[in-house]
Amino acid sequence: MKIAVVGATGLVGTKMLEVLAERNFNVTELIPVASERSVGKEIEFKGKKYKVHSMQQAIDAKPLIALFSAGGSTSLEWAEKFAAVGTTVIDNSSAWRMDPVKKLVVPEVNAHVLQNTDKIIANPNCSTIQLVVALNPLHKKYKIKRVVVSTYQSVTGTGVKAVDQLMNERRDGHSPDMAYKYKIDLNVIPQIDVFTENGYTKEEMKMVNETKKIMGDDTIRLTATTVRIPVMGGHSESVNIEFENEFDIEAIFELFKNTPGVVLQDDVKNQLYPMPMNAHNKDEVFVGRIRRDESQPKTLNMWIVADNLRKGAATNAVQIAEYLVKQALI
C-alpha cells in the first residue's frame, strides 16, 4: 500500500497525513511530495521521518494511490502522469471536478459510481461536500426542488496566508502580507474566488454545478452566496430547501439521527446547535436549527457546519481511498 501525498507540506496535505494516521489507513510506504523548494526536507508520519520527494521521483515510485492537494494547475500538469503509471489519483483541486468523464465523489452520497477504471477521481469543493451530505437523505425521501444557501466560510479555506493575515490583524491591527483585498478581522467579505460574467463568484457556481453532478440530478435548482468570515475551525451554511413532497419535522430529525456521517445538534431549549468551534478537527457534518419555512409550503430551513480541512477536503479524500480498497477497485 504505497501512498503518495502531493502537497504534503500545505494545510490540506498536512491534514491528509493526520487523517491517514488517525484512521489507521494501511500505509506500507509513504511518499510525501511538495514543490521543488521543499524536496529533501523531512516530515513526520506516525513517528517516522520521511523525506519530501519531487513529482517525478514520486511517479517513478509508482504509488498505488496519490492524494493530491497542490492546486489546479499542478493537478492538470501531473495527475495524468501519475495515472499513466497505474496510480489512482484522488484530487482535491477544482481541475477535474466538472470533467464529464471524471467522477466527483462524496462517499456517503455517490461512492457507488466508482469503478476500477477510474484513475483520476475528483474531491468536491469543501462547501459542497458538507451540503450534499445533508441534502442527500432529504432528496431521497422528499425530492428537492430548490435550494438557497448562504455560506460563512473559514479563512483556513484560503490557506496559510489567510490564517496569518487574520492572526496578524488580531494581534497588531494590520497584516504585512494580505491574502484578501480587505481586512478580514472584524469584517465579512462577500466574495470567495473571482467573479464570473453572471455576477456570481466561482465558488458560488461550484456549489451549483457540483451539487447537481454529485447527486445525479440536474433538476435541482440551487442558488448560493458564499462569504468569508474571520473564524477558523469550519464552514457554516444557512440552507433553505423547497421539496416536491410534504414533510414532518419530527421525521426530519429521525432521518438525520440515522444518516451516516451526520450529527444532529438541535436543542434550542438548551441553545445547542452546530458551530465551527465544535466541529473543528471532527469528520462529521453537523446539522441543526431545523425548522419549517413559514413563508411558503413544503420548505425547510437548517444550519450545516463541518471542518473544511477535514470532511471538506482531507477526510473525504481518504474516505474515497478507503472505499476503493474495501471494494477492491484498485
**pLDDT of 278 above 90:** yes
pLDDT digits (tens, 9 = 90+) for 71-104: 999 999 999 999 999 999 999 999 999 999 999 9
Q: How confident is the model over 60-74, as a mean pLDDT? A: 97
Q: What is the CATH number of the domain that holds 115?
A: 3.40.50.720
318-323-327 Cα angle (round to 5): 150
Q: How confident is the model over 215-234, as a mean pLDDT? A: 97
Enumerate the H helices of the chain as residue ranges. 11-22, 55-61, 72-84, 107-110, 126-142, 160-172, 202-215, 249-257, 276-279, 315-326
Alpha-carbon gap, residue 239 to 237, rounded angstroms:
6
Q: How confident is the model over 149-156, as a mean pLDDT? A: 98
The average confidence (pLDDT) of the chain is: 97
pTM: 0.97
**Closest by CA position to 31, among listed 19, 23, 78, 39:** 39
Statement to judge: residues 118 and 131 lie in one domain: no
3-class SS at 150?
A: strand
Task: Decide the pairing of beta strands 88-91 and 2-6.
Answer: unpaired
Lowest mean pLDDT among 34-38, 182-186, 200-204, 289-293: 34-38
Q: What is the CATH number of the domain that holds 204?
A: 3.30.360.10
Statement to judge: residues 60 and 100 lie in one domain: yes
Statement to judge: residues 299 and 320 lie in one domain: no
**Catalytic amino acids?**
126, 235
Statement to judge: residues 221 and 247 lie in one domain: yes
Q: How confident is the model at residue 199 (pLDDT cuts 50, 70, 90)?
A: very high
Give the percent of the chain with pLDDT over 70: 100
Q: How confident is the model over 223-245, as a mean pLDDT? A: 98
Structure-block grid coordinates of residue 190: 462577500
pLDDT digits (tens, 9 = 90+) for 98-123: 999 999 999 999 999 999 999 999 99
Q: How confident is the model over 286-297, as a mean pLDDT? A: 98
- Quick one: pLDDT at residue 36? 86
Statement to judge: residues 93 and 131 lie in one domain: no
Overall domain count for the chain: 2
Statement to judge: residues 109 and 157 lie in one domain: no
Enumerate the H helices of 271-314 as residue ranges. 276-279
Statement to judge: residues 173 and 274 lie in one domain: yes
Q: How confident is the model at residue 146 (pLDDT cuts 50, 70, 90)?
A: very high
pLDDT digits (tens, 9 = 90+) for 2-58: 999 999 999 999 999 999 999 999 999 999 999 888 898 999 999 999 999 999 999
Statement to judge: residues 11 and 146 lie in one domain: no
Statement to judge: residues 187 and 276 lie in one domain: yes
Domain of 278 in residue numbering reads as 127-308
Statement to judge: residues 40 and 93 lie in one domain: yes
Q: How confident is the model over 63-67, as a mean pLDDT? A: 98
Statement to judge: residues 317 and 295 lie in one domain: no
Statement to judge: residues 266 and 295 lie in one domain: yes
